[in-house]
């Protein structure tokens, strides 16, 4: 059996309207918590009307009626999020797809209901003295730090493959070789900016070092013999140092991020703003 909704029509402070479906009653505070993408920037001024006993599949039809009355960009609700209504790639009532509608029917209404239920939890648990904004800023700093350390970890397999090519137990794949050289250059350059690593042409352009050790023609010209190569191990170790230092640092940051329930903090910060707004 399909759920039955009350659809509350609220006027916003930017002269737009928000249609908020709810199973049962819905206060202004609950609606604002249910729609943070909209109500974090625009306050609800007043309740204009309520439509009772509306089935989920009928909600978009009601939204369309308001769009035709007040203009597509002035209506939020149903399958039409704030982004859809205001972006350059505007998605109007005429352009909504069946897939969009089904996704809203399955996910959108359930998500709104979940946030409505959570509203009471956060209303009673949110401290007005906690500095949630600083906690969010700290989380974002960790995200930024993770980005600094992040590398393509497939380089681990690539450098092991490179070693087997050099000792002659694997035939060189030129495409993989050139991709590996590009990765090594990018990773080492990134790591060298963060840590005290040896620098030079060998590390910024690793092909200048490895071509004579990998490419068949170069190996023949130089009569390359891996057993007599006194530089190879040190260079490989320096690349591996850069790779694993970046990985270890990123893993440390990821561990710190996993200890933070950012959804909970963001919800509490938003509720803190709402409670201040309504008091």
Q: Do 95 and 51 meet the contact criterion of CB atoms below 8 Å apart? A: no
Indicate whether 86 pLDDT > 50. no
Question: Residue 213 CA to chain centroid, in angstroms?
Answer: 41
CA distance 253 to 30: 35
Q: For the CA atoms of the chain, what is the radius of gyration?
A: 29
Band (pLDDT 50/70/90 cuts) for residue 3 is: confident
CA distance 267 to 118: 9
- Percent composition of the chain: helix, strand, coil (DSSP 3-state, to 5): 65, 10, 25
CA distance 219 to 198: 26
Q: Give residue-wise pLDDT tens across range 228-261.
A: 999 999 999 999 999 999 999 999 999 999 999 9
pLDDT recorded at residue 81: 64
Q: Do 246 and 149 meet the contact criterion of CB atoms below 8 Å apart? A: yes
Q: Which letter does DSSP use for residue 168 in this model? A: T
CA distance 219 to 210: 10
Structure tokens belonging to residue 8: 């509350």
Band (pLDDT 50/70/90 cuts) for residue 83 is: very low
**CB atoms < 10 A from the CB of 78, how many?**
28
With both helix axes pointing from N to C terminus, report the angle between 132-149 and 174-194 in degrees, rounded to the nearest 10.
Answer: 130
In the sheet that 4-12 helps form, which strands lie side by side, from edge to edge?
Answer: 44-55, 4-12, 17-22, 75-77
Nearest to 188 by CA among 251, 238, 247: 238
Cβ-proximal residues to 222 (8 Å cutoff; 6+ apart), any chain: 212
pTM of the model: 0.82
Nearest to 243 by CA among 161, 179, 166, 154: 154
pLDDT recorded at residue 97: 73
Over residues 198-224, the mean pLDDT reads 96
The per-residue pLDDT of the chain, averaged, comes to 92
Please state, for a pLDDT cut of 70, what percent of the chain lies above it: 94
Q: Give residue-wise pLDDT tens across range 73-82.
A: 899 998 886 5
Q: Give residue-wise pLDDT tens across range 97-137.
A: 777 777 777 788 999 999 999 999 999 999 999 999 999 99
CA distance 113 to 219: 67
17-22 and 75-77 strand pairing: parallel
């Amino acid at each position: 059996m399909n759920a039955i909704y009350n659809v509350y029509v609220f006027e916003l402070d930017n002269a737009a309207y928000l249609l908020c479906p709810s199973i049962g009653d819905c206060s202004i505070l609950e609606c604002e918590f249910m729609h943070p993408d909209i109500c974090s920037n625009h306050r609800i001024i007043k309740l204009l009307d309520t439509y009772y006993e509306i089935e989920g599949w009928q909600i978009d039809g009601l939204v369309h009626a308001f769009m035709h009355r007040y203009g597509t960009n002035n209506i939020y609700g149903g399958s039409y999020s704030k982004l859809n209504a205001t972006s350059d790639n505007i998605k109007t009532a005429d352009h909504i797809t069946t897939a969009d509608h089904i996704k809203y029917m399955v996910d959108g209404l359930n998500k709104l209901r979940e946030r409505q239920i959570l509203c009471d939890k956060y209303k009673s648990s949110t401290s007005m003295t906690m500095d949630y904004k600083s906690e969010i800023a700290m989380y974002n700093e960790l995200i930024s730090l993770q980005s600094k350390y992040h590398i393509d970890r497939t380089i681990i397999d690539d450098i092991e493959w490179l070693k087997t090519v050099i000792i002659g137990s694997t035939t060189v794949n030129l495409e993989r070789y050139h991709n590996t050289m590009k990765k090594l250059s990018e990773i080492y350059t990134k790591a060298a900016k963060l840590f005290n690593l040896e620098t030079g042409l060998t590390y910024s352009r690793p092909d200048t070092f490895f071509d004579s050790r990998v490419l068949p023609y170069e190996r023949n010209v130089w009569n390359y013999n891996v057993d007599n190569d006194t530089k190879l191990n040190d260079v490989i170790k320096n690349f591996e140092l850069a790779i694993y230092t970046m990985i270890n640092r990123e893993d440390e940051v990821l561990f710190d991020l996993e200890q933070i329930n950012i959804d909970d903090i963001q919800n509490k910060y938003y509720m803190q703003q709402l409670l201040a707004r309504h008091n």
